[in-house]
Structure 1
């Protein structure tokens, strides 16, 4: 029978292999398997319902930017669905992780576009900034010792540079994960041996892209916008899918764990991590619903207060300069009037 399946199609063998994987996982978990699967499916349905509800609430305030909002909010059901797939089929961890992480990277770029659109577009943002400097010494670059990154003027060229910096995240991450999935499907041992060499490129791409997003958020705040709450609900998902999942992978290697219910420690750690991740997506979805149900904030009082502070500082500097010049003139006049012996 297996010979006939091989000669007919290799895809049937792959399906049988995955089916055996599901059966083994459910058998090892015994009666807990179907409870976990049912609870995971229920949580996923609630997250999908929250996604629709949040979109209906957001259309009142972001009608012109709804395509950006829809992409940003879609990360919660996508990440939750990927976590459920990893719970049901443990061997699908790498493809499911690639889907969830790529969704977050695409959402970061659309969040950048949403912030620019909220500020009225590139030209309006430049006019509102009034020749202000682009704050470049922000996370994660502000953590470097002796950070001496220059602060260019906020104009179209600098915003285009920020856009390219953010756009490279989904492109670079997609290429890296495509290469890893191809290697993983061909030779799992080779994948395990070279996986660590890709991590510096992954980290450099994400950190540089996040640097661009944070600079964009700072620029929007400087002109009276308040995108920080919406940035946090995206940033938390990035932390979960990268740092939390990375820690869950390293726990079985750092500690000598025994098998639990006939499950390998790595599979059990992945099960716990994905279950927690689904609950986290549910909580963040509720938070995102509250954030996007309210209109975009405008902290114009802060902008006016900052401008007053700057004006006061400039007046003080002028008065100090005038006083120093006057004192210098008085001293010179006094020295000229002193009689010589």
Structure 2
């Protein structure tokens, strides 16, 4: 802001070109950009090595789901690195990251089912059990909701709830790009006539609907898949969601309100995007290393259903004995 309260003209300029960033980097900037780019490269190399291992060692029915889920962190890191070096591509890199993660939401649900042996094995193992639907993010405040039986129809509805987000997110991403090139999509235009104010809330509702079936399935299988480290895997999946969606949204909102000060040649909005991307590269690098430890292992068959019941009941038996 200027001395008289007016906006600095340099703060209203479009994001700089990649060549301008390279020319204006100081020593600290060179070190920062080099380290973050190195982290991104390592993340992608670790992911490629993990894909080779999974392709060779894992059963065919699990390969696709595991590879998709493992790719969330390195793909987001790569898109963030591209957005950091080429600021004018930020909107597109963010859309690609969000679209990929929408597919990951569906693939994580499929992964849990495939870890049980597929649809038929899951239905057989859960034949006499019910699903608790009073879970987040939709119905965590409704404990009075009845439990529903595990049937093929209900399993299909859970899959459909997650798949609709993967499909419609791709549709809305393509639509947003078309509207952008037609001059109708501007992330800074939050007016009632802007496309952003209509598309983003609708995508948010689709996200919540898609996360609900995954949470229901996790609550149902967390004891069954405990030996496969499903709890830390789910925690990493949730962490990627929070960091790539919620954290980024908060920073972008602060930038749109000019809470984040501009630093020419970066406007407030461009600087907010830059901060978000640099944080994501570091965070996704750490998550990539953690997920490698969780997924790069021998995939032994699940214990029988009787063993699951013993594992579930053992804490109660210990408490009674005490």
Whether the TM-score (by the shorter chain) exceeds 0.5 is yes
CA distance in 1, matches of 2:52, 2:152: 33
Deviation string for 1:276-328 (max 9, x for gaps)? 110111100110011113446868756225468999xxxxxxxxxxxxxxxxx
CA distance 1:188–1:28, change in 2 (3 Å): farther
The alpha-carbon deviation at position 236 of structure 1 amounts to: 1.5
* 1:304 has 2:310 as partner: yes
Structure 1 unpaired stretches of 5+: 1-17, 312-341
* 1:162 has 2:158 as partner: yes
Q: CA RMSD in A?
A: 2.9
1:124 to 121, 125, 128: 121
Q: Are the aligned partners of 2:83 and 2:93 in contact in 1 as well (CA < 8 Å)?
A: yes
CA distance in 2, matches of 1:20, 1:258: 16
CA distance in 2, matches of 1:107, 1:48: 17
The alpha-carbon deviation at position 89 of structure 1 amounts to: 1.3
**Higher normalized contact order (CA 8 Å, seq sep 6+, divided by chain length):** 2
Q: Are the aligned partners of 1:28 and 1:261 in contact in 2 as well (CA < 8 Å)?
A: no
2:93 corresponds to: 96
2:148 corresponds to: 152
1:228 to 228, 231, 234: 231
Deviation string for 1:30-88 (max 9, x for gaps)? 55554444323211211012113333554576333122211211222211111011111
Structure 2 unpaired stretches of 5+: 1-13, 318-322
CA distance 1:222–1:291, change in 2 (3 Å): closer
Matches within 5 A, 1:104-143: 104-143=101-140
Q: Are the aligned partners of 2:40 and 2:74 in contact in 1 as well (CA < 8 Å)?
A: yes
Return the index of the structure with the highest Cα Rg: 1
* 1:42 has 2:45 as partner: no
CA distance in 1, matches of 2:209, 2:277: 27
CA distance in 2, matches of 1:114, 1:212: 13
CA distance in 1, matches of 2:181, 2:55: 42
Q: Are the aligned partners of 2:105 and 2:162 in contact in 1 as well (CA < 8 Å)?
A: yes
State the number of aligned residues. Answer: 293
CA distance 1:152–1:228, change in 2 (3 Å): same
Matches within 5 A, 1:165-244: 165-187=161-183, 192=189, 193=191, 194=194, 195-225=196-226, 226=228, 227-244=230-247
CA distance in 2, matches of 1:149, 1:278: 40
Q: Are the aligned partners of 1:224 and 1:303 in contact in 2 as well (CA < 8 Å)?
A: no
**Greater fraction of residues in helix:** 1
CA distance in 2, matches of 1:203, 1:268: 24
The alpha-carbon deviation at position 197 of structure 1 amounts to: 2.2
CA distance in 1, matches of 2:265, 2:186: 27
CA distance in 1, matches of 2:204, 2:95: 15
* 1:246 has 2:249 as partner: yes
Deviation string for 1:134-185 (max 9, x for gaps)? 11111113433x4543321012111111110110111121122222222222
SS in 2 for 1:141: coil
CA distance in 2, matches of 1:296, 1:35: 40
